[in-house]
Amino acid sequence: MFDIGFSEMIVIAVVALVVIGPERLPKVARTLGHLFGRMQRYVNDVKSDISREMELEELRKLQATVEDAARAIETSVTQEISKTESELNKVAAEASVSAELQSIAAPAAVESAPAAAPVAEPVVATAAPEPAAPAVAAPQLELGLEPPPPSGSSTAQKQS
């Protein structure tokens, strides 16, 4: 703080001894020490208050930045939700109109069709279907069980 060397402090002590006297010098030195300590604590308190205020200001700026980012995200999400909702409403409206048109057109088509002889459907040649294996037989064979006897006419032949 002050640029006082050791020699200057000796001169100040000698002058204080002469001016104050040897009887009151210890009390004055103690009082000056207390005042000097109070001054140091006050300066330290002011420094800590200033640094605390600076940190608070930085935190406020950070908070404002985060709040702005949150608002921007909220706005974009809200816009996307409303956009998607309007698209879904549009699709739903188109589907309901289409369903209405189909329900109106279906009875009209039945009424306008002539009562003619039924038309035979064309015969399409297909390959013979492969016989399907019974679904129960495979698990029974895996377990080592015998397949169940076929039902129907074969049981009637065995009984006779």
CA 127 to centroid of chain Cα atoms? 57
Question: What's the DSSP call for residue 151?
Answer: P
The pLDDT value given to residue 105: 76
Give percent of the chain above pLDDT 70. 65
Question: What's the DSSP call for residue 109?
Answer: H
Ranges 23-32, 57-66, 88-97, most confident? 57-66
159 pLDDT higher than 80: no
The pLDDT value given to residue 22: 86
Give percent of the chain above pLDDT 90. 41
Residue of 130, 133, 131, 136 whose CA lies nearest to 148: 136
Which of 122 and 6 is assigned the larger pLDDT? 6
Q: Work out the pLDDT band at 12, boundaries 50, 70, 90.
A: confident
Which of 103 and 70 is assigned the larger pLDDT? 70
Q: Which tokens go with 32? A: 């000056």
Q: Work out the pLDDT band at 93, boundaries 50, 70, 90.
A: very high
The pLDDT value given to residue 3: 77
The pLDDT value given to residue 160: 47
How far is 142 from 157, CA to CA, in rounded Å?
29
